[in-house]
Each structure stands twice: as structure tokens, then as C-alpha cells.
Amino acid sequence: MDRVDFLFSPYGSELTAAVASVIEELGVPTAASIVATLAPWKGKNAKWMTQFSSTAPLYLMGSVDLAIERAEAKNIAILYEDTPFPIGVADGLRARAKERGLKIAMDEKYDKALTDWSPLVSKARSLGAEFLAGGGYYPAAVGITRAAAGIGYRLKLLALVVGAADPKFVKDLGILAEGVAGSDIWLPSVKTRGFVVEGATIANEDFVRSYKEEFKRDPEYWSAAGYGAGQLLAQAVNDSLKRARKVDRNLTRDFLFNFSGETIYGDYGVVKLGQPDAGMQVRKQHFVIQWQKGKKEVVWPRELASAEPWIGWPR
């Protein structure tokens, strides 16, 4: 590891949590690009790894506000996979519902091996839940949506992670996808920019164009996260070179923990060194999206919305 100046974390919460202690022990500056859980930072007083992406509890919080303020829902059913990321999403839903006075009609986890969501969805309907939220990954988003449609469940709002934001969702589900809400952490249309080299930046729209030229497809959020984390690390290394005329691990690390600004992925800023939750992301924003006429529209927060939300599912 003596020749390693910095690291990108593995993809996902579970793998990153597994290597976090090794990163801390070896003392290598690391940008954890796709990690939404709090576990690697909460109370750990981290000194070498920072969270680049947003935290899981924030993913669907906005959907609670949307359900209350626009759909006038009186209660919620929270269904979630029993793995770290979905548990974090459910924690955020639960906290926001309690904060806003939204009754929790059902709060239930399921095994990640589950393939039939009909019993859980049927239970939510029997309990009179008007707003159903949660999920896990792509199979769950598809499975829950199909199960709800299969029993004729009518909801004021259906909001799911992570799969509901995937372009495959509308292709695989067709009309059933219409009106389903989800969460997006990054969009090709957002007006962001970030570091490239000293004195130069690149806009998000330029990143999107270059990506499409290279790979012949639109970038997804994980591609933008990887690129944005690269921008952050490049800026940290550049800062070290200016200060010490070499890539110094301590200076690179200090930049990761102290920098507050923007990459093409959006805002970045973490809890500072020396604090119990050091390295935890505190600035990244989420968007509530909804499929409308085959297109993914931002419907919350209001000030960033590209369309009015559709209330009622299925359409």
C-alpha cells in the first residue's frame, strides 16, 4: 500500500462497510462514491474515508412530504428489504412520517431472497394504507408494483427505491410504471459543474455529452457518482501538489474532510475530522421523481420540479 496515494471505495454499502476498518488501519484517503448507509461513519470517528454520495435516510424522505402536502395521504405502509441500504431508507421514512404526523399503518421488513411480494402488499391494503413506500433494489421495485396491480390495490402514492428510477422500470412495466414515484440522486439535466484541472471545470451537461459519445448510451447515477468522486480526488491531489509539491496522504485526506463545494454529481460536504460522525455526507440533495407518459419527471422539491405530481396509482 506504500505506493497507493488514494482509493475509490467498492460499489455499495455492504462491501464498503466490510473494508472500512482496513482503510482506516492503513491510512489511505478514500472517497466512498456509492455508499448510502451511515454505518461506516456513525460514531466511528473516521479519519481516512469520506462519504461522497447521499445517506440512505434521505432517499425517500421527500416522498413523505409529497404524500402529505399533495396527495393528502393519512397513513403509510413501509416495506423494506432487510439489508443495510433499504433499512436506512426505511429509517428515514419512519422518522419523517413521525415528524409530519403521518400514521404508520404498517412497518415490515422482508428477506432479500423474497420473490413474491403479494402477501405483504395484500396486508398493506387490508390495513388501509393509502401511501406505500420503501422497497430495496430493482427486483423489489418491479415485484411490489406488479403485486399491487395484481390485487387491484389503489394508492394515493407509490414510492420505491432504487429500481423505480431505473430507465428499465418503465420499459419492463409499461403502463404500470406510470405514476410510480422514486428517488434520484443525480439527473442529466441538473446544472452542476466540477474540477478537471487547475483553473478549469466541466459542466454536468458536458459530462453527459462526452459519456454518450464514448459509450453510446445515457449515463446513470452510478456513472456520474464515479466521475464526480474522481473530480473530488483530483482536486484533493491538486491541492496537495500545490501545498507540498507531492501527493501527500495527510494533505489529500484533509482536503476530503474540509472541502465544501460541488462536483458534476452535486453538492459535497462532510462532517469534519475529530467529530464522532467524521466523514459522513451532509450536503447531497435528493429529488423525488415520477414516471409520467414514459418520462422521468422531478416532482419534489417544488422549487426544482419539472412537472406537477400525479396523484393516484395506478393511472
195 forms bridges with which residues in the sheet? 201
pLDDT at res. 1? 64
Residues present in the chain in total = 315
Which position has the grid cell 400514521? 103
Q: What is the 3-state secondary structure (H, E, C) of 16-75?
A: HHHHHHHHHHHCCCEEECCCCCCCCCCCCCCCCEEECCCCHHHCCHHHHHHHHHCCCCCE
Nearest 5°: phi and psi at 18?
-70, -30
pLDDT at res. 301? 84
C-alpha cell at 5: 496515494
Which position has the grid cell 452510478? 222
Which position has the grid cell 403485486? 147
pLDDT at res. 235? 95
**Which alpha helices (H) appear in 116-220, and where do they start and end?**
118-126, 138-150, 167-173, 204-215
Q: What is the 3-state secondary structure (H, E, C) of 274-314?
A: CCCCCCCECCCCCEEEEEECCEEEEEECHHHCCCCCCCCEC
C-alpha cell at 235: 482536486
pLDDT at res. 192? 87
Going along the chain from its start, the domains and CATH numbers come out as 1-185+275-315 (3.40.50.2300)
pTM over 0.85: no
In the chain, which residues have pLDDT < 70? 1
pLDDT at res. 2? 72
Closest CA to 184 of 71, 80, 304, 310: 304
